[in-house]
Amino acid sequence: MTHLAQQNRETFGSRFGLMMTMIGVAVGLGNVWRFPYMVGRFGGASFVLLYLVIVAFIGIPALMAEWTLGRHTRRGTLGAFEIGGLPGGKYVGYFFFLVVFCATAYYSNTLGWVAFHGLGQAVSMVGIDLDPAAILPPESGFDLTSFVLQSIMTFLVIGLCGMVLVRGLRKGIERVSKFIMPMLFVILLILIARSVTLDGAAAGLEWYIGSFSLANVNGTVMAAALGQAVFSLSLGGTFMVIYGSYLGSGENIPTGALLTGIGDATAGVLAGLAIFPAVFALGLQPDSGPSLIFNTLPQTFQQMPLGGLFGLLFFLGLFGAAFLSDVAALEVLIGGIVDNSTLRRTRAVIIACAVVAFLAVPTMINMKIFFPWDLIFGSGMQTLGTLMAVITAAWCIKRSEALRELANESVRPFHRILYLWMRFVIPVAVLFIGVKWLLEAV
């Protein structure tokens, strides 16, 4: 990597834009779709508390490591591991680059479901009956209507991402993030005010945040909470590495990571507050899995006064958050293509979007294909990528250089402790939880 290449790399235009972009990358479907259904599946308040602890002590330091790797190398997944000095780093980078292609494909497809559900809520307000569940793939077999609807919506989503990405970091990604993220938090607050004031909402609040029990904490729940923390913070040696490469040399990595982690976790907790009181108040099941958002919540909105409006607001906010993560995923691919070829950004955007659209097709067929895809690329590979990024940042980059990235030249005892934590505690914790999960669940 030449000094000229480092100088020419685009960086964020403002601190507010940086934070909205980073929080937008982190939030996505991981917090507003995946977090609530994981809470429902793994025991309510016990999972919530364990998740917050893991975000604080593993997720945020791991985020610092990924930003350190990205800013130090000024590269994304392709190049960062190799330049960082990880043995076999070139091939590790290519492996995770391919993982991002597969993950972005199914993620884009899910975002198409969100957009269609938002459309269903919108037209219901003017008396048009549109079944949003028609877009969901069947549990098995093949449904032509679902496949066609998914194809249309997924390709539209990918095309919209391409329109933002072709404008670059400041004029595209950063500008859109500064609009979408404040809107998401306002929408969540409005939905919470409606949800907690329903008759019977107290039972949902008690289940969600008031009934912690150590008996509910086991290896499976720990592994699920770790996977959710990794997924929701968009870790994995991919998204946050490429965005870390866009950080200016004066940006404070620990402070930025802390604020991003707080914003990310807050969005997840707020999403749960908007969902579970209403689910309990209306007598529905909180443990309905991934369909919690796409099947259970529309029923919830139907039973609310002004349910169409609240449903539209919810899916609008969910789409905005998920859209920013989809943009980030495609940026990993586009950045990798531009950094390692002579192609201009516009052509790289076209290539990345076309390949992702092609790979999205298999996950449209049925849930027996979609769920394993989510498990492999949405949790397993992201956790492995995080481990590789932390090892590269804390073990392969020279100690003095890693500390300089963390501390912006002014190294204090706190930064040395943080570096040791990244070096020893995080890899051991990730491996311990992974092995415990394998022994108990697999």
140-149, 257-266, 393-402: which has the minimum mean pLDDT? Answer: 257-266
CATH of 10-441, one of 3.30.1330, 3.30.1370, 1.10.4160, 1.10.3470: 1.10.4160
Confidence (pLDDT) at 169: 81
At residue 53, the 3 state secondary structure works out as helix
Over residues 160-199, the pLDDT tens digits come to 999 999 988 888 888 888 888 888 888 888 888 888 888 8
Longest dimension (CA), the chain: 64
- C-beta separation of 245 from 76 below 8 A: yes
Confidence (pLDDT) at 133: 86
The per-residue pLDDT of the chain, averaged, comes to: 86
Over residues 347-365, the pLDDT tens digits come to 999 999 999 999 999 999 9
User: What is the C-alpha separation between 240 and 389, in angstroms, rounded?
Assistant: 10
Domain parsing of the chain, residue ranges = 10-441
Q: How many CA atoms lie within 13 A of 139 on its CB side?
A: 1
More confident residue, 290 or 376: 376
Assess whether pLDDT exceeds 70 at residue 330: yes
Tell me the percentage of the chain whose pLDDT exceeds 90: 41
More confident residue, 5 or 8: 8
Confidence (pLDDT) at 8: 62
Residues 6+ apart with CB under 8 A from 222: 50, 433, 436, 437
Length of the chain: 442
How large is the angle between the packed helices 15-29 and 89-124, nearest 10 degrees? 80
Tell me the percentage of the chain whose pLDDT exceeds 70: 94
More confident residue, 225 or 13: 225
15-19, 27-31, 131-135, 308-312: which has the minimum mean pLDDT? Answer: 27-31
Which range in 23-27, 236-240, 438-442 is most confidently predicted, on average pLDDT?
Answer: 236-240
Residues 6+ apart with CB under 8 A from 91: none
Assess whether pLDDT exceeds 50 at residue 2: no
DSSP code of residue 290 = T
What band does 438 get if pLDDT is binned at 50, 70 and 90? low
Pair of tokens at residue 194: 């409606």
What band does 270 get if pLDDT is binned at 50, 70 and 90? confident
CA 227 remoteness from chain centre: 11
Partners of 76 in beta bridges: 79
Assess whether pLDDT exceeds 90 at residue 280: no
Pair of tokens at residue 209: 């945040």
Assess whether pLDDT exceeds 90 at residue 105: yes
User: How much is the average pLDDT of 396-420?
Assistant: 93
Per-residue CA distances from 361 to 28, 364, 416 (Å)? 21, 5, 47
- What number of other Cβ atoms are within 10 A of residue 404's Cβ? 18
User: How much is the average pLDDT of 29-50?
Assistant: 81
Confidence (pLDDT) at 197: 87
Q: How many CA atoms lie within 13 A of 27 on its CB side?
A: 33
At residue 76, the 3 state secondary structure works out as strand
Confidence (pLDDT) at 289: 64
User: What is the C-alpha separation between 139 and 365, in angstroms, rounded?
Assistant: 9
- C-beta separation of 106 from 360 below 8 A: yes
Confidence (pLDDT) at 244: 92
Confidence (pLDDT) at 402: 96
Amino acid at 319: F
What stretches of 74-143 show up as alpha helix (H) in DSSP? 77-83, 89-124
More confident residue, 102 or 35: 102
More confident residue, 216 or 53: 53
Confidence (pLDDT) at 379: 64
Buried b (16+ CB within 10 A) or exposed e, 373-385: bbeebbbebbbbb
Partners of 269 in beta bridges: none
User: What is the C-alpha separation between 226 and 302, in angstroms, rounded?
Assistant: 34
Confidence (pLDDT) at 361: 96
User: How much is the average pLDDT of 396-422?
Assistant: 93
Confidence (pLDDT) at 28: 73
What stretches of 233-360 show up as alpha helix (H) in DSSP? 239-244, 253-281, 291, 297-302, 307-339, 345-360
Residues 6+ apart with CB under 8 A from 250: 408
3-class secondary structure per residue, 263-289: HHHHHHHHHHHHHHHHHHHCCCCCCCC
Per-residue CA distances from 241 to 79, 273, 302 (Å)? 10, 31, 42
- C-beta separation of 44 from 211 below 8 A: yes
What band does 6 get if pLDDT is binned at 50, 70 and 90? very low
CA 57 remoteness from chain centre: 18
